[in-house]
Structure 1
């Protein structure tokens, strides 16, 4: 919207389908919301009780600028225990969510006009986050025929003298793809060859169903050029707590601490206390969450396989299915509009996640199997899928 009192940077900004979906949640009383990745599960009661007790005991103040020391130590222990990665205390900073972490990182590393490569379909905020940090987005398209893996030959052709970084998101939102070990190794080779920074958006690490998650920072020679963004939102169903973190070389951490002093100062203290208990109890808490979503993924996959004009790759990771609807002859937006109007199901069109997402819709499996059954029963009756 153009207005003399608004920054010209925002005159042409548009609301995304993800943002617009929030306005539609009350459209119908029987609406089934499969649009946003906000889990229906509630944060484990043990985490809530422990954080509440800590708040009553006085953990209601600013924390250290790097984050609660106890939480940082738990993050150190987590990377050592689960991935045999050794980090020091000055290589970790706690942030107010993974999105906040991404903005801090981009702000710290980009000069005006620096290029950041993103693989599409991708998490919708990436391009604008890059632009806010005065960078330039370069798109690498991925395709269902290649299981949405990064094609390193096409990647290499996009690299210029201004290429600074590559954002890697696996397990992926929205496609659910988990990059293979070969893909991770190939990306690492390119990063070292061209002296690039890898920003690893590791938000869905628990949701890798067929193969264990491999941090790209664990590849030989990658730790010093990888910035890892973590979050408690999905792995521990803690979206509302707004707590994430950055793991990176100490000079990057020092820089984002200084930037953050002029932004939100510190992440919420009570949320940081909750994150401590989430990590300490991660195996018993996370296992239940992952198994629940795995059941939903495979249930939905089987239902989609039996619906004409719908198809999807078998579940690999994340909490999403990226569904091919090209046989309907309609656009992604048209299909989502019909789902809403005729079946009272809210989903996101694939082109929200990049132009190569056209012909797909994303289903966030954030409701129970009972509700998913109702949703797919409604879909089966729609003319466009028959």
Structure 2
């Protein structure tokens, strides 16, 4: 007899919304001559010295399991990196875990701290996986909208208004995906006062820490009094151009780490050994390459912001990451309408802002992790598209008259 497969699927899993990023990326991949500003992936190839280290690791036969938390040598280097760059001190033996991407770090963090019904405050617009990961861990995502007039930064007042007796944690991402917004030390200190007052935890996604442009990056764990309340998430994907390697790491008080390692034992075992050895090389000998990539992104950011403003689209200046988040409200189109028509008519792929939460409606996310030549062509095409919309609107008004 036939069965109804829907009856056998998890209600929670069935209820997840598919990624709004992948939707437009997959559509663009099926078309020719498309310039994709959609997926947040560096256009740089992983620096050669890192690739060579992984190749040599394979040649030398490093193909066995490592400790669940990762190679101790790599964890030691991560600890040095965090101390050197972000003034946070973690013991490599029991306060650091190497994970399969920063996304897995987030998953481990939420599984370790959430009980059914616990609430996590998520600042939107936000990366698409945050609400899903909280939900899968049994938690309840509570969305807090931010706006362009405040550079998409959350305020202590907003946090206070959202906190209930079920609130367990706040999820911060700075620099932010999708807006590029950065919280400075003073702003993080104000958030810390709220965290301390309400006895909360903070999961801080710092995957774009290497890509800050206007101010020195501040880790939330380095704010006085926040070390014990922070689970720090980072990784190699963005700053080191290692997205396909799927290597992340998390650092936290050992009490959290002990629980996360247990979860890791039963789900993944460990990250691939040869890739961990590549990451070791990345931390030891790639500072110059990372800085060169950051400089390229900085120049591209400036070009994108200036170009979008010349086109007539309002666009705040992102302080980090490699995204701009311009408003398309003047066009009269929704975010999805704008993105779909831009792709069909001018073959430029962007992500509609509502993929990152309701407060993203009226915006689009454009990644500048592409060559300047590609960005110049993309800006010409977007400018032509916006001009065509203005002409259409003028014709409609003329006919009304």
TM interval, shorter chain, is over 0.9
Offset at residue 302 of structure 1 (A): 1.3
| 1:87 counterpart residue number | 90
TM-fit CA distance, 1:2? 6.9
Structure 1 Cα separation of the partners of residues 166 and 257 of structure 2: 23
Aligned to 1:161: 165
Partner Cα separation in structure 1 for residue 206 and residue 88 of structure 2: 15
- For the 8 Å contact 1:379–1:385, the answer to whether it is kept is no
Change (3 A) 1:2 1:189: farther
Structure 1 counterpart SS, 2:53:
helix
- Equivalent residue, structure 2, for 1:112: 116
Cα distance in structure 1, aligned partners of 2:259 and 2:328? 45
The separation in 1 between residues aligned to 2:61 and 2:255, in whole angstroms, is: 32
Aligned partners of 1:140, 1:29: CA distance in 2, in Å? Answer: 38
Conserved? CA contact 1:59–1:269, under 8 Å: yes
Q: Which residue of 7, 13, 25 corresponds with 2:16?
A: 13
User: Does 2:43 align with 1:46?
Assistant: no
Q: Distance in 2 between matches of 1:184 and 1:9?
A: 33
The aligned counterpart of 2:289 is 285
Q: Residues 321 and 364 of structure 1 are in contact (CA less than 8 Å); yes or no, is this contact kept in structure 2?
A: yes
Tell me the equivalent position of 1:331. Answer: 334
TM-fit CA distance, 1:385:
5.6
Assess if the C-alpha contact under 8 Å between 1:2 and 1:11 holds in 2: no
Counterpart among 321, 326, 333 of residue 324 in structure 2: 321
Q: Quote the residue 1:381 is aligned against.
A: 384
Q: Classify the secondary structure of the residue corresponding to 1:306.
A: helix
Partner of 1:340: 343
TM-score (norm 1): 0.97
CA contact (8 A) 1:95 1:244 kept: yes
Indicate the residue corresponding to 2:395 in structure 1. none
1:370 aligns to what?
A: 373
Q: Judge conservation of contact 1:278–1:285 (CA < 8 Å) in 2.
A: no
Residue 244 (structure 1) aligned to one of 232, 248, 255: 248
With structure 2 as the length reference, what TM-score do the two structures score?
A: 0.94
How has the CA–CA distance of structure 1 residues 104 and 75 changed in structure 2, closer, same or farther, with 3 Å as cutoff?
same
1:17 Cα offset (Å): 1.4
2-side partners of 1:100 and 1:2: how far apart?
Answer: 28
Which residue among 264, 268, 271 is the counterpart of 1:260? Answer: 264
Bigger CA drift: 26-35 or 14-23? 14-23
CA contact (8 A) 2:25 2:349 kept: no
Q: Deviations over 1:168-188 (max 9, x none)?
A: 100000001011222101111
SS at match of 2:176: coil
- 2:149 is aligned, of 145, 149, 155, to 145
Write the distance in 1 (CA, Å) between the matches of 2:187 and 2:5.
43
Structure 1 residue aligned with 2:394: none
Residues 65 and 265 in structure 1, CA contact (< 8 A), matched pair in contact too: yes
Which residue does the alignment assign to 2:396? none
Q: How many residues align?
A: 385
Q: Give secondary structure in 1 for the equivalent of 2:212.
A: coil
> Residues 109 and 207 (structure 1 numbering): CA distance in 2 closer, same or farther, change over 3 Å?
same
Q: Distance in 2 between matches of 1:167 and 1:71?
A: 26
Match of 1:302 in 2: 306
- Cα deviations across residues 247-288 of structure 1 (Å, max 9, x unaligned)? 001011111111011111101111111111111124212101
